[in-house]
Amino acid sequence: MTPGIETPDHRGRTGLHLTGRDLDRNPDVVVRDVEVLSNDWYVLRATTFDRRGSDGVWRTERRETYDRGDGATILLYDADRRTVLLTRQFRFPVYVNGHPDGMLLETAAGLLDEDDPVAAIRRETVEETGVEIGPVQHVFDVFMSPGSVTERLHFFAAPYRSEDIEGTQHGVASEGEDIEIVELDIDRARAAIGTEIVDAKAIMLLQWALLDGPFA
């Protein structure tokens, strides 16, 4: 009996090999097999499928997908003071891929887990910044790395006030989080895109804020 397949794995999951087997929205794609390669925390699968190309010929392909669930992110802004509230935390994947110290400036974000996107981003905002937000604005939903990662990220924005900020260090200690909040002038943030700010979700939300959002 394989954990995560017939019996629960350490996160209580079963049937991880069934994901994608029933897909039928695209008549040019027929899923043949799903193999679970890893399910230590997130799930790495290899899916074999037949795909009919633009030439009408069917070919068999095999693709790996990394399933970490969907997530949400938010840009906190103060339109009157022309500031944004970002987070900074250590990210090993960027550190191992050339970032100077792995300390990444980001917008607050997290996985949905069992929550809807709005509830999830309210939870993550409090955990990562300490700010209790009011109404949130839905900006867009985006697949961030569609070549291999299944995650759909829900983007939001909400105002904050200087008096909402309490302390500079936040995060859930039991989850290994050690998060610093960083307040930047919007013009300073714009100038930092591509240098100090290299987080895709932060860049996308900053550009939205400058083109169509509170700083347009």
Strand 83-90 and strand 71-78: the pairing is antiparallel
Report the pLDDT value the prediction gives residue 8, as an integer from 0 to 100. 94
CA-atom Rg of the chain in angstroms:
20
- Residue 60 · residue 49 · CB < 8 Å: yes
Each residue's pLDDT expressed in tens, for the chain with a length of 216 residues = 899 999 999 999 999 999 999 999 999 999 999 999 999 999 999 999 999 999 999 999 999 999 999 999 999 999 999 999 999 999 999 999 999 999 999 999 999 998 999 999 999 999 999 999 999 999 999 999 999 999 999 999 999 999 888 877 787 777 778 899 999 999 999 999 999 999 999 999 999 999 999 999
**177 annotated as belonging to a binding site for a ligand:** yes
**128 annotated as belonging to a binding site for a ligand:** yes
Q: Do 103 and 50 sit in the same domain of this protein?
A: no
Question: Would you state the structure tokens that stand for residue 139, as one six-digit string?
Answer: 């900006």
- Residue 71 · residue 118 · CB < 8 Å: no
Residues 79 and 158: their CA atoms lie apart, in Å, by: 10
Domain hosting residue 89, numbered range: 71-212
Residue 20: exposure state from Cβ atoms within 10 A (0-12, 13-18, ≥19): middle
**132 annotated as belonging to a binding site for a ligand:** no
Tell me if 124 is assigned to some domain. Answer: yes
Residues 16 and 8: their CA atoms lie apart, in Å, by: 10
Q: Do 116 and 62 sit in the same domain of this protein?
A: no
| Residue 189, φ and ψ in degrees, nearest 5 | -65, -40
Number of domains in the chain: 2
| CATH number of residue 137's parent domain | 3.90.79.10
Report the pLDDT value the prediction gives residue 177, as an integer from 0 to 100. 80
Q: Do 55 and 76 sit in the same domain of this protein?
A: no
* Predicted TM-score (pTM) of this structure: 0.94
Tell me if 5 is assigned to some domain. Answer: no
Residue where a domain terminates, one of 25, 44, 67:
67
Q: For tokens 């022309």, what's the residue?
A: 82
